[in-house]
Structure 1
Amino acid sequence: MAKQVATQEVVFAVADALVAEGVVPSLTVVQGRTGGSYTTVKRYLEAWEVKRKGEVAAVDLPTDIEARGRDFVQALYAHALHDAKASVAEPLALAEAARDRAESERAGAEAEVARLESVEQEQANRIDSLIQRVRELEMSTAAQQATIQEKAAAVTRLEAQLGEAQSALAAREQELAGLRASAKAVEGLQGQLEALQRTVQGLTATAVTEASSAKGGKK
């Protein structure tokens, strides 16, 4: 079945028919009979109302008819206002619900952003602390390396001094060995000297004895 199209002629005809039936031609009722879209029916119905007001103003009406017409117009306006509020109420409620959801989502997003910023700041602080720790370790390592180099240099110096001391000790041992050899040679010479002294003493004693004997024989 083809969708109904609400033309201006159709809307005008339906509105006139409703007035003839004693029914207020509200937007909802007219739209229900024409099957047109809300925007189209509203535009044509407003044009019909302007046209009808012009027709009514052009005729002098009796007081009672004018009063009933005023009541009719008031009723028509009240129905139109009610329909307008009804047609706007649901979109407005949906818009307010969407706004509330958006505000709730925005609040959640802001809370999440704040949390992420806090986490980011905490991580930045941790990174700064780690960088500072690395720098301290690098400085400590450099100091330890310098100390190790100093100790290595000291060990090298001590090893050199030990080598010199060992060389000097070897030289002293050689000198001592020479002295010991000299002492033995001196001891040998001393022994020989003592033997010579004993021999000289013996010869001297013999010579003295012989001389004494020789003197005695002369007497």
Structure 2
Amino acid sequence: MFESRLALASLSGEADAEWAKAGAEWAGAAFLGGVCLDEPTREAARVMVVDRDRSEFLPPDPIAFIDKQLGALESVDIRAGINVRSTTPEPVREAASVAAEHGAMLEINAHCRQAELCEAGCGETLLRNPSRLEALIGAAAEAGADVSVKVRAELPAVDLVFVAQRLERAGADAIHVDAMDSASVVREISDATSLFVIANNGVRDRETARAYLDYGADAVSVGRPSDDPAVLSGVEDAVSEWFSQEGEL
């Protein structure tokens, strides 16, 4: 999927091409976005901006915005991905087609927990209704993009391992796991699927990065400190060291 095995995780309203360029010295991938594609998700984002002063990507034409952002990274040594929110498959298919043209990944957001987005029918609510999530994955895969799904652990009544197996069958290539306080779920998903597992949550230093890799993650991602060169340098060193030691075994 990408080398080095450090990714920059999307940050709403902040994770654009310039942000990815700034981290390219250390990261092998960067997930831009999240971008709301259809009217229900865009309206939810507008409400969040007004009511809670959230920062969101709300371009007039989200598909054109994705094309421009991914195009800006074509000469940069980093694998781009675009994190998207949608309640329906067709906008995902369009976004995935653009991503495929740029050699980028399409990441479906089944992670957001903001009430407005959940009420619209996207984000973490998709984990409670995996058949809808499967339809989004299928649309992206049919468009030719490598498909990642961003998910959240510790949701009541959600068996994340079972969901991961369904996502793999639907055509997903990677799963980006916000492990919360359940790092062991990374091992469970790794053992139960062939998905490329990207572990997220609290990756700040050598110890946290190596812990996730020891649990079976194929890569780790950095969220909030993704604009901190000291954090990225330290995590990248730890990841490179871990895979180097694995190769010697």
TM-score by length of 1: 0.22
Q: With CA pairs under 8 Å and 6+ residues apart, which has the higher RCO, 1 or 2? A: 2
Larger % of strand: which?
2
TM-score by length of 2: 0.19
Larger % of helix: which?
1
